[in-house]
Amino acid sequence: MAKRVSLWNAGCPVARALDVIGDWWSLLIIRDAFDGVRRFNEFQAGLGIAKGMLATRLRGLVGKGVLDTAPASDGSAYREYVLTEKGRGLFLVIVALRQWGEDYLYRPGERRSSLVEARTDVPVGKLKLRSAKGRPLEWSDTRVTRC
């Protein structure tokens, strides 16, 4: 979001990514978009966000190329908000957040949604970092180059 201080010019892709979707609501809106939400009121009801804030956030995400507007699929006069390819690129960010939440933020037995293969309803596997050649990598096997 346009904060007072923008990290856009940093040479760090993490900072630049957070500059775009690092505010409180954006990732939740995007999560809902991945779950099939398309209409203003659906977002509003699902998130409990104020309408004004939602309008601002949707406008911002469209402006940043994460969402796009499309004519309503049901023929009504209103537009819908759909993920662009850039927006769909955030899928793994959402998945990573989800898997971290599942691993560290729930106690056994607590009800929660889960990400499954659509055809079989089998939970998806855990994300894993690998080398360019496919060997599993831990954090300690990596470093960040100075830019």
Task: Tell which positions 94-113 bind a second copy, by CB under 8 A.
Answer: 94-106, 111-113
**Residues 56, 100: contact at Cβ < 8 Å?**
no
Give least dist CB 37 to DNA, A. 10
Question: Which stretch, 37-45, 52-60, 68-76, 116-124, contacts a second copy (CB under 8 A)?
Answer: 116-124
Task: Tell which positions 101-120 bind DNA, by CB under 7 A.
Answer: none
Name the nearest CA neighbour of 1 among 64, 51, 43. Answer: 64
**Residues 1, 29: contact at Cβ < 8 Å?**
no
For 75: left if phi > 0, alpha if psi spans -120 to 50, otherwise beta; the answer is: left
Site string for DNA, 21-50 (x = CB under 7 A): --xxx-------------xxxx-----xxx
The smaller minimum CB distance to DNA, of residues 69 and 99, is found at 69
